[in-house]
Amino acid sequence: MTQTLTLRRPDDWHLHLRDGAMLQAVLPETARHFARAIIMPNLVPPVVTGDQAAAYRDRIMAALPDGMTFEPLMTLYLTEDTDPDDVAQAAASGLVKAVKLYPAGATTNSASGVRDFDKVRPVLERMADIGLPLCVHGEVTDADIDIFDREAVFIDRVLDPVRRATPGLRVVMEHITTANGVDYVKSNDTDLGATITTHHLIINRNHILVGGIKPHYYCLPVAKREEHRLALRAAATSGDDRFFLGTDSAPHTDALKEHPCGCAGCFTATNTMALLAHVFEEENALDKLEGFASRNGPGFYKLPVNIDTITLTKSETATKFPAKIDMGEGTVTVFDPGFPVYWNVTA
């Protein structure tokens, strides 16, 4: 029996497109289903000024295949030298929709991130004044903190103090991975939202480590215990509009993923919507999928919901997704959930 589900065209509120040949290869995978995406600025060198964001946006649009429609929502990489005036001007122009905070050393290409939060206070205060969201990679990088505890410690040591010191600052906790993150969002009624990735709804840390190391499941923040995955599932499927989709789809070539010091990131742009339909159906919450993928994010960012729609169809035959995307200089492995999926985007 065929089952269909039509919803407003979704957006991705956390996406890595990279640049050059990688951008050319992976952009169509997102643009096929998503109308807009918040574009991560952690290139080498990072996107730190309005002019750099405009140039990156031009490269993205030049890479978009004919016949596809897609709007990149640009962000600036927050450094200790970021100019509050440049941020305000980029936001006022409509180009920049958020500023991204990477604690220095937290993840891929984060070496230019923030070490001393007092040095970025003028930027955060200006952002609070103009209502520009701060997107946060929420992990401390202290060597004495276990990697599985870094998100919870960040909330207590960094995020909560920053928010208390900057009233009105609108914050997105990106790719939350713990029940601690879920609980913190639920405890705050205003100016706080959180994105949840596709893969963190599906894998826990056992998937990375049991039976041999699985490099294509390695991501940052790293997947946590099963109890945390279940908390994320409950939040995503709850209908609470503070939680919305940010895939954190992060392409790396297989050579770099399978390297002795492999890169962090799961590439989910190709099959995210089918995987979400599977997850939401398992949770008896298909009626909540449109909110999570298509409505809650625009609501937080104060943007209109997309007018266009997509249709997901469930069939009796498992959907076959491509295993890899060829980028010319190598291949990128598409996230494999480890189970058959019977949903697919058909229109």
Are 205 and 224 spatial neighbours (Cβ–Cβ below 8 Å)? yes
Q: What is the pLDDT of residues 125-170, one digit of tens each?
A: 999 999 999 999 999 988 999 999 999 999 999 999 999 999 999 9
* Cis bond upstream, residue 260 (ω within 30): no
pLDDT of residue 269: 98
Among 107-116, 277-286, 290-299, 320-329, whose mean pLDDT is lowest?
107-116
Q: What residue type is 83 in one-letter code?
A: D
Question: Is residue 112 pLDDT above 80, yes or no?
Answer: no
Question: Is residue 314 pLDDT above 80, yes or no?
Answer: yes
pLDDT of residue 110: 65
Q: What is the pLDDT of residues 281-312, one digit of tens each?
A: 999 999 999 999 999 999 999 999 999 999 99
R_g over Cα of the chain? 19
Q: Hey, which residues does 71 pair with through a beta bridge?
A: 36
Question: Is residue 1 pLDDT above 60, yes or no?
Answer: no
Question: Is residue 46 pLDDT above 70, yes or no?
Answer: yes
* Helices marked H in the chain: 20-31, 50-63, 84-92, 121-130, 150-154, 160-165, 179-186, 205-209, 226-236, 254-257, 272-282, 289-290, 296-301
**Cα 114 from Cα 104, distance rounded (Å):** 5
pTM of the predicted structure, to 2 decimals: 0.96
Question: Is residue 106 pLDDT above 70, yes or no?
Answer: no
Q: What is the mean pLDDT of the chain?
A: 96
Q: What is the pLDDT of residues 205-260, one digit of tens each?
A: 999 999 999 999 999 999 999 999 999 999 999 999 999 999 999 999 999 999 99
Q: What is the CATH number of domain 3-345?
A: 3.20.20.140
Q: What's the mean pLDDT in 317-335?
A: 96
**Cα 283 from Cα 247, distance rounded (Å):** 19
259: tokens are 């390297």
**Cα 128 from Cα 211, distance rounded (Å):** 47
Q: What's the mean pLDDT in 315-323?
A: 96
Query: Is 336 annotated in the active site?
Result: no
**Cα 227 from Cα 241, distance rounded (Å):** 22
Q: What is the pLDDT of residues 59-93, one digit of tens each?
A: 999 999 999 999 999 999 999 999 999 999 999 99
pLDDT of residue 115: 84
Where exactly are the structural domains of the chain? Answer: 3-345
The one catalytic residue among 11, 12, 240, 248: 248
Q: What is the pLDDT of residues 183-196, one digit of tens each?
A: 999 998 889 999 99
User: For 107-161, what is the HEC assignment?
Assistant: CCCCCCCECCHHHHHHHHHHHHHHCCCEEEECCCCCCCCCHHHHHHHHHHHHHHH
* Residue carrying structure tokens 């190391």: 213
Question: Is residue 111 pLDDT above 80, yes or no?
Answer: no
Q: Which residues of 59-73 are buried (b: 16+ CB within 10 A; e: fewer)?
A: bbeebbeeeeebbbb
**Cα 90 from Cα 53, distance rounded (Å):** 9
263: tokens are 């890169």
